[in-house]
Amino acid sequence: MKEDKNESRWDKLLNIRTMGRDDTHADQYRYPYEPTPYSVLERLANAGYIRKGNILLDYGCGKGRVDFFLSYQTRCKSIGIEYDERIYEKAAENKKYAVSSGRVEIELANAEEFAVPETADCMYFFNPFSVEILRKVMARILESYYAEPRRIQLFFYYPSDEYISYLMTVEELMFTDEIVCMDLFPGEDPREKIAIFELDYME
């Protein structure tokens, strides 16, 4: 399969191991680990939203694929946040050997308790947790935004209707764009996209 080949090719190139799904510790609030397909990440990297000066927070980073790939492709700095210690260990192991490891940090933390650095200006989510947790995470992001007003971009890959409905109610957020990824996979799934929201700082 072409997709599988692309997956292993990038893992090899980045010198990491991120393939496979893991739902060992999944429950109704925290969803299984499943890496974002590299073809989707290529599209995001090529869209030009994330650049060298950006600092990306990857919520529910799993084994760190998003962090290592985007840091390699866009030269941004990445901070991956993972609550599952076993999966975090795999990300930490990847960091030892990854070609872009110098620009990546991996943190073992619960997303809703993680204090958002005032320098972070991009956030990435691939349905890592329930809307209940997303609300708390959003409160943390807003806290950081008001402490240090800046433009923050939020990227939601394969967003659920529940996520979108909630995000549309957050006053400070503005829906700005979507990167369509439907053509990358069979089945014409309308959720195959990255929805982009923004917290914009106006002088």
Answer whether residue 118 shows pLDDT above 70: yes
Distances (CA, A) of 129 to 8, 167, 188: 26, 14, 24
Tell me, what's the pLDDT at 19? 85
Q: Whole-angstrom Cα distance, residue 172 to residue 142?
A: 8
Q: Which CATH class is domain 2-199?
A: alpha beta
Q: Please state, in angstroms and rounded to a whole number, the distance separating the CA atoms of residues 20 and 90.
A: 12
Where exactly are the structural domains of the chain? Answer: 2-199
Per-residue model confidence (pLDDT) at position 25? 57
d(C-alpha 72, C-alpha 21), whole Å: 23
pLDDT at 33 over 80: no
The 10s digit of each residue's pLDDT in 145-162 is: 999 999 999 999 999 999
- Residues for the chain: how many in total? 203
Task: Provide the mean pLDDT of the chain.
Answer: 92
What are phi and psi for residue 83, nearest 5 degrees? -95, -25
Read off the pLDDT band of 5 (50, 70, 90).
confident
Using one digit for the tens of pLDDT, what is the confidence trace for 163-200? 999 999 999 999 999 999 999 999 989 999 999 999 98
pLDDT over 70, % of the chain: 91
* Distance in angstroms (rounded) separating the CA atoms of residues 126 and 168: 17
